[in-house]
Amino acid sequence: MQGVLLSPLLDFANLIAAYFAEIWDFLIFIGRISAVIVVLVGAILWFTEVNCSKGKSLVMSGVLLAIIVQYFVTYPPGFILG
């Protein structure tokens, strides 16, 4: 009797996990795109000497963002694995 009762709950949990996985993939996509944009804008500011210090900090921030996004791609959370 418990197996019948738990089945709808497991189906609901799997549905929620699937939605979280889709949201996670979208967030990873946004993170990758924003890292590239931040590095490009920083490089433009840095190499055109419009604002060298802000450009350097944007480049470093973009690289850090790319590293963090890659870490979460390499080691995803449990709802992606399950």
Q: Per-residue pLDDT tens for 34-64?
A: 999 999 999 999 999 898 899 999 999 999 9
The pLDDT value recorded for residue 4 is 57
Closest CA to 28 of 75, 60, 61: 75
Instruction: Find where tokens 């089945």 sit.
Output: 7
Q: How far, CA to CA in Å, does 20 sit from each of 14, 57, 64, 67?
A: 10, 32, 24, 22
**DSSP H or E run through 45:** helix 2-47
Q: What is the pTM of this model?
A: 0.77
Residue 82: pLDDT band with limits 50, 70, 90: low
Please state, rounded to an integer, the average pLDDT across all residues of the chain.
88
